[in-house]
Structure 1
Amino acid sequence: MEFSENLLIAAAQPGARSPAWVMTLFALGMLATYVGVAVDSFHKTVAALTGAVVLVPLALVLGVLPDYDATYEILSHDLNIFGVIIGTGILVDVTGRSGLFHFLSILIVKATGGRASALYFAICTLTFLFVAVLTIVPAMLILSSLVLVICRKLAYPPKPFLLSVAICANSGAVVTFASGLPNIMIGTQAGIPYVHFLMVAAPYALISFLIALAGLRFAFRRSLPWTQSDTQQAELKSRIERFDAWALVEDRGVLVRSAVILALTVVGFALAQPLGVGMDFIAIAGGTAALLFAGKTIEDSIAKVNWTIILFFLGLFLIIGCVKATGALNLLAEQVVALSGGSTGLLVALLTGFSAVASAIIDNIPVAATLIPVVDQIGAGGVAVEPLWWGTILGCNLGGNGTPIGSISCVIALYTLKKEAQQSVSWGEFIRLGGTIMVVQIAGAIAYLLALNAMGWIPRLPG
């Protein structure tokens, strides 16, 4: 099988690789960190930082990292994430103080009549659209604040809403080139045009959203009052009539300026790629504009940035960088290639499934970074590489639904739920919900890509 041999030869070109016992040691260190993250009595940020403090010196002693400066190289690949979190954190806080989110929440409540079913589907749809336009981090920060305001006003439990927002967000992240960080990484490396995302990724993003919506509606069938009697609706209507959208608006001029800055930031995210700037620059620019034109308590707004999540990802990225430096992630990816046996269909299934499972366990950014050179090598072996790129994109994004730390949307939602509502979600509970939805979405993604490829509907890459 010449094709199969070429495929395996192309994939089997790793760089320096540590001995098997070193890869195993670091993999166990990462696993121990995830156990610490999963234990409710041990703060996940402390777990991530502890893992980094242990693995970085170990990597230096064992020669996995050439020197300490290599840790800065690891973090340099993810600085854009920190910039987006900081910039949007400031923007969201300043905008929230203007009363804009409260104003919007009351409009949504009044438009749906406050009915749990209508409100739930409106928020999930808004999540899908917000993430597609805003990208996942700023959209999640805004929507988390919005959901909390609405739930407090109507005395609805925030847990079903926040978990649904987190899971639906990962479908929205598939829509465009700029919606998710794996899209940007893979799209840039593969040279995928912006319009190809609208042709290939966006249709399945909608399908995966509908799958998520159906699964979530079933899972939360007893958690919300989906069917409300005439008496309950009359009581809701009476309560909503007393809501004042302007109640928390101290200065309408500040609200208008906040809304304009937020809208311009959204446009900036959409135009970041054509403008040749990063999402982090747009986020920082939006946050700075908010402080300059709408911020009154500047130091307090900066302090409200979610530093806990930033430190969590700081530790996590260092751990993953050390494990990746041992060659363990490349070795796993190569095994997926070897298992394909030369079948394009099986290779698409394996890469999509592997990227999803790995993203759920590790985080989609390092998984995408690891698979990019592997898919490049596979393409050099004579296989049509386009369906493999799309499988990796769909797997990395939708795999985030598998675990509480699989995507930043899940991390933000669960952190908000714990901090603001004092409610925790165990790993088992989340995996039963998000993991089940992920399996159905990934199975659908594989079938979707194979069907498109068989019909010749996946556009070839330029050049």
Structure 2
Amino acid sequence: MALAPAALRRLTWFFILLAGAFGTAVATGLTAKQVLAVSIFSTFILGTLLYWQFRLAFALIGITGLLAGRLIDIPHLIEFANVDIILFLIAMMIVIGFLEERKFFELLLERMLDTISHWPAFFFPAMMGLAFLSAALVDEVTSILFMTALALQLTRKLKLSPFPYILMIVLATNVGSSATVVGNPVGVLIALRAGLSFTDFLRWASPIAAAGLLLTIGVCLVYFRKPLREMTDGVRRLRNEALDTGRIRDHKQFRLAAWVFGLTIAGLVLHHQTEHFLHLPKNTLLLGVPLLMAGVSLLISGEKARTLVEHRVDWWTLIFFLLLFASVGTLQYVGVTDRLAQALTVLSGSHPAVLLGVIIAVTAFLTAFLDNVLAVAIFIPVVAGLLEAGVSSGALWWGLLFGGTFGGNATMIGSTANIVAIGMLEKENERVSFARWLGPGLAVTIPTLILAFILLFLQLPLMK
């Protein structure tokens, strides 16, 4: 049976890009083992991007190929799988499911509408601001779980397609995750290696992140003007209806859910201070708090606890995450990332402005197609080596941060928040393709990266 033209084009692009990845790996002088690792990994990533609905199949086959080719062993596969992140997501999804079943987000949304609906046009920009703030104060994954649940509740009520609104929430979340050291794992990596404090992030990263949010909102107001107009009309309609129908009257259940929500957020915000007070290892409670509150949620749920775990946890997405992390780690295991770092060091020279631009651009590119944690991890030793060699510019660390966070907006696999949000969208029967994300993703990513470069460049004389 002949392939449809669209399917044939997609298959053609798959093999062209795969051949390009293979040719590049060979041309750069990688070893046979490294070339094989790049080829299998590229098959996995290209299959994921071009055939998103089969991403888990490509992930399973890719991991099998890596194991069969002796490109990674089982102990390292488990190490690179980032099981702590998977457990964090499982726990948070249980908490979110518990809150949704008690209609917490529905009543929270109604109260937000009561407060903000006098200015309908500002409602969704305000939600983007809230996503930015929550990502900065807690972390991007927690922010996207809560904010996506809230936005989905709104789009269900207004009977609107959720994709453009969830995408805007994701874009604001990724930008907000750069504002503080706790907003994104890459911030933690950079802070530890560069010796940066929370105050340093407030001085150098937060103002640029805030400027990035304003630019992101401005781009979204233009790019998504039709969906935002529909949202404004819907919010105005809800205001006129005064939300008299369908109000939640079980305030006891709401108060119980609010306690769970409040304790979860407070625990995440204060986890560093609590760990210091209790003399616990770093980030112990970043995982411990969600696990505790998930356990509390299951106890409160009683006989519904099993249903909550089976139906509210997005197991499809979590298995994909686990395999993605493991496969990306393979490149580090076989030494591909070290070769890339060495090549960049040679090619970049030592001019701070040029280096800043190269690091932002290359980190953003890798982030868009790999994982921002790996992309940043690749360049941390590069930046450290450049500074040790006499390049006196702390701006390189901040360029690395913004390349890894702002660059995550470009594609659907650019950050953990993106994939979590897509998983929640698919539960609403909303299909998201690579091309559908890429247009608005690049429309925000490119100008925000340019803005970050300009603002860092202007401050180069102030940085040592």
- TM-score above 0.5, yes or no: yes
Q: Which residue of 1 aligns with 2:76?
A: 70
Q: Which residue of 2 aligns with 1:33?
A: 44
Q: Which residue of 2 aligns with 1:239?
A: 241
Q: Distance in 2 between matches of 1:33 and 1:114?
A: 48
C-alpha contact (below 8 Å) 1:106/1:150 kept by paired residues: no
Q: Distance in 1 between matches of 2:155 and 2:363?
A: 35
Matching of residues 243-282 of structure 1 within 5 Å: 243-247=245-249, 249=250, 252-274=251-273, 275=275, 276-278=282-284, 279-282=286-289
Q: Which residue of 1 aligns with 2:16?
A: none
| Aligned-partner SS, 2:180 | coil
Matching of residues 405-424 of structure 1 within 5 Å: 405-420=413-428, 422-424=429-431
Shift of 1:378: 2.1
Q: Distance in 1 between matches of 2:398 and 2:190?
A: 9
Matching of residues 74-85 of structure 1 within 5 Å: 74-75=80-81, 78-85=82-89
Letter in 1 for 2:326: L
Q: Which residue of 2 aligns with 1:124?
A: 128
Q: Which residue of 2 aligns with 1:3?
A: none
Letter in 2 for 1:55: L
Matching of residues 380-395 of structure 1 within 5 Å: 380-384=388-392, 386-395=394-403
Shift of 1:405: 0.5
C-alpha contact (below 8 Å) 1:156/1:224 kept by paired residues: no
TM-score, normalising length from structure 2? 0.86
Indicate the larger mover: 316-325 or 333-342.
Answer: 333-342
Letter in 2 for 1:33: F
Query: Is 2:161 the counterpart of 1:161?
Result: no
Matching of residues 97-116 of structure 1 within 5 Å: 97-113=101-117
| Aligned-partner SS, 2:107 | helix
Q: Distance in 2 between matches of 1:155 and 1:225?
A: 14
Q: Which residue of 1 aligns with 2:17?
A: none
Choose the corresponding residue for 2:409, options 382, 390, 401: 401
1:373–1:239 Cα change, 3 Å: same
Q: Which residue of 2 aligns with 1:204?
A: 208
1:342–1:180 Cα change, 3 Å: same
Letter in 1 for 2:226: R
Choose the corresponding residue for 2:66, options 52, 55, 58: 55
Name structure 1 gaps, 5 residues minimum: 1-16
Shift of 1:324: 2.0
| Aligned-partner SS, 1:438 | helix
Q: Distance in 1 between matches of 2:350 and 2:51?
A: 44
1:214–1:295 Cα change, 3 Å: farther
Name structure 2 gaps, 5 residues minimum: 1-27, 276-281
Query: Is 2:453 the counterpart of 1:446?
Result: yes
Q: Which residue of 2 aligns with 1:173?
A: 177
Shift of 1:180: 0.7
| Aligned-partner SS, 2:86 | helix
C-alpha contact (below 8 Å) 2:120/2:235 kept by paired residues: no
RMSD over aligned CA atoms reads 2.4
1:282–1:234 Cα change, 3 Å: closer
Choose the corresponding residue for 1:291, options 281, 290, 298: 298
Letter in 1 for 2:58: A
Q: Distance in 2 between matches of 1:107 and 1:163?
A: 23
Point out the structure with the larger helix share.
Answer: 2
Q: Which residue of 2 aligns with 1:6?
A: none
Query: Is 2:302 the counterpart of 1:300?
Result: no
Shift of 1:72: 2.4
Q: Distance in 1 between matches of 2:383 and 2:137?
A: 28
Larger RCO (alpha carbons 8 Å, 6+ apart): 1
Percent identity, aligned pairs only, is 23
Indicate the larger mover: 334-343 or 168-177.
Answer: 334-343
Shift of 1:152: 1.3
C-alpha contact (below 8 Å) 2:407/2:414 kept by paired residues: yes
Letter in 1 for 2:339: L
Shift of 1:297: 2.0
Q: Which residue of 1 aligns with 2:330?
A: 322
Letter in 1 for 2:176: G
1:423–1:322 Cα change, 3 Å: same
1:132–1:345 Cα change, 3 Å: same
Q: Distance in 1 between matches of 2:402 and 2:353?
A: 15
